[in-house]
Amino acid sequence: MHTFRVWAPAASSVDLVLRDGTLPMRWADDGWWQRDVVEARHGSDYAYTVDGTGPLPDPRSAWQPDGVHGFSRVFDEDRFRWTDSEWAGRDVRGSVFYELHIGTFTPEGTLEAAAGHLDYLVALGVEVVSLMPVAAFPGRHGWGYDGVHLYTVHEPYGGPEALQRFVNRCHEVGLAVCLDVVYNHLGPSGNRLGEFGPYFTDRHTTPWGPAVNLDDTGSTEVRRWICDNALRWFRSFHLDALRLDAVHALADDSPTHLLAQLSSETAELSKQLGRPLGLVAESDLNDPRMVEPVDEGGLGMTAQWSDDFHHALHTLLTGERAGYYVDFGEPGVFAKTLTQVFLHDGSYSTFRGKDWGRPVDPARHRGGEFLAYTSNHDQVGNRALGDRPALTTGQLAIGAALVLTSPYTPMLFMGEEWGASTPWRYFTDHDEPELAEAVRTGRRREFAAHGWDAEEIPDPQDPETWRSSVLDWSEHDEPPHNELFAWYRDLLALRARTPDLHDDRLDSVGIAYDADGDWLVVTRGRFRIVVNLAAGEAVVPLDGVPTYQVMAFGTADPVTDGVRQSGHGVAIFVI
């Protein structure tokens, strides 16, 4: 027997639609409708009609085998036989993240195929596999941020049981799993939530239209829909952390912000399960309140992404200054983001046209509460051509060294460890011609405003745009990719065994730099990360005589007044 329940508070009637007939549902309580069906079990297909409209998929559907528009299917979450009972969990703060997109990580684009590379990730030194969204979205190929069924797993990836198998396998080899979830909006295609109840509100607007209803009439159940979703990933899929997309777009004027509620409920579940559970926020607010405890007035996130650090490092290496990079690029800016997290911490942001952010207190906040990276899906995919940074191998090695020796929680984006030549572009697979054209036109218009020829912008709907974004694993063993990979692997091994490089106190980091941006030296305890940012050979001054060289990319020879280093070179010394 299976009990079907659905929330439709304003409906006069709700019917359960099965493959062999329709059954009326009864009003249960607080806007919920219910029906027990003796014959229904795992694998049974169903849908609902609300006041005659439908059939509609279940807002809490766990399985959508026929896509976002099709019938839902009953999924028994307890059928899977877990073998990870010895997994104690992992505090994600300070752990090495590896962000990957299931649909482009392998040519097959499935969870099963991705699992075939887990031993590779372990050997590299990765500790947390960070999956981009897997919630069901329209078509076969997409980023996943236009998902419409938060409770299910995209069928082309393998469906819900494939995710359970993937997480189980990760735990068996010692990897934690973080899943990207999107609660700030839903995609337009297949989104029928409004026909069930007030899932959205006009009280706030977002870049995607009406906001998810977090503080208007009916919001108690909508908030429950979100929090139950998060707790289910932890409980039924054994996930270790969730990455919460663009939380600054969660419009919520409630006395208790949704994030604080979710933090408290996650902490309680963590106690019940006896293992750490993490919440990692993507936030544009530059506000350390994001990671401060709820009982101290914070929002209780375990950690958050740090785009200011990325922007400072990216501009230092590439020289780009357009758009939101306008205030970045100077070595002093990088020094601030390396030691104080945010550039804009109450200062004026030229791109935003206003003062922005709040300062981080080194006495209160740890570097492990912030993620650092040379790139991620946004910073590559949201470029006009989806191109990775056009840097020399030496510059890529510098970026890796500055991230992996920072006091922050480091994150890699798939393929960066060998300097992948494949782009990672914005791609979609919408069936509706009007929506497909709107996406295509909107992207071209956006970049044309920044001076790009619209015809140069890859068509998101062209299958070749997705195909060109799939990692080419044959590059990994070829020069110069193999040399860069060895650098990443050795850096990660050094970080893992070296307490000085694991110290996440912000005031434990020192940095000296040339005002012209030709060189910099980062101090981490006994270690000096020596960087020649110039293209030609240079002498980088040190504050002491090196005892020995730990590792180097390029040549680095101690001289009387420092280190003589090849162009775009980086080396680590012990003083």
Catalytic residues: 245, 282
Distance CA 521, CA 532 (A): 9
Do 174 and 240 contact (CB within 8 A), yes or no?
A: no
DSSP 3-state assignment of 207?
Answer: coil
530 is in an annotated binding site: no
Residue that is written with structure tokens 């002491």 in the block: 544
Q: Are 152 and 70 a contacting pair, CB within 8 Å?
A: no
Q: Is 243 among the annotated ligand-binding positions?
A: yes
| Residue 64 assigned to a binding site | no
DSSP string, 461-504: TSHHHHHTTS--GGGGGSTTHHHHHHHHHHHHHHHHH-HHHH--
Query: Is 380 annotated as contributing to ligand binding?
Result: yes
User: Residues near 255 by Cβ (< 8 Å), separated by ≥ 6?
Assistant: none
Is 462 annotated to bind a ligand? Reply is no
245 is in an annotated binding site: yes
How far apart, in Å, do the first and last CA atoms of the chain sit? 70
Q: Is 482 labeled as ligand-binding?
A: no
The verdict on whether residue 148 carries a ligand-binding annotation is no
Nearest Cα to Cα of residue 164 among 72, 260, 238: 238
Q: Is 246 annotated as a binding residue?
A: yes
Helices 307-318 and 393-404: crossing angle, nearest 10°? Answer: 150
Confirm or deny that 382 is annotated as ligand binding: yes
Q: In whole angstroms, give the CA distance from residue 250 to residue 244.
A: 10
CA Rg, the chain, in Å? 25
Rounded Cα–Cα distance for residues 453 and 440 (Å)? 14
Q: What distance in Å separates the CA atoms of residue 5 and residue 215, rounded to the nearest whole number?
A: 24
Q: Write down the residue that tokens 């974004």 correspond to.
A: 469
For residues 128 and 92, the answer to whether their CB atoms sit within 8 Å is yes
- Say if residue 310 carries a ligand binding annotation: yes
Contact 525, 503 (CB under 8 A): yes
Residue 378 known to bind ligand:
yes
List, as one string, the DSSP characters of 220-272: HHHHHHHHHHHHHHHHHH---EEEETTGGG----SSS-HHHHHHHHHHHHHHH
Element (H, E) at 103: helix 102-105
- 429 carries a ligand binding annotation: no
**One-letter amino acid identity for 361?**
D
DSSP state of 149: B
Closest to 408 measured CA to CA, from 457, 465, 339, 472: 339
DSSP state at residue 366: B
User: Cis peptide leading into 160, omega within 30 of 0?
Assistant: no
d(CA 121, CA 327) in angstroms, rounded, equals: 35
Residues 6+ apart with CB under 8 A from 437: none
The two tokens of residue 497 are 């065994």
By DSSP bridging, strand 354-356 and strand 347-349 are: antiparallel
Q: To the nearest 10°, the Cα dihedral for 248, 250, 253, 257?
A: -90
Residue 328 assigned as binding residue: no
CB within 8 Å of 453: residues ≥ 6 apart? none
361 is in an annotated binding site: no
Annotated binding-site members? 243-248, 307-311, 377-382
Annotated binding-site members for substrate? 243-248, 307-311, 377-382
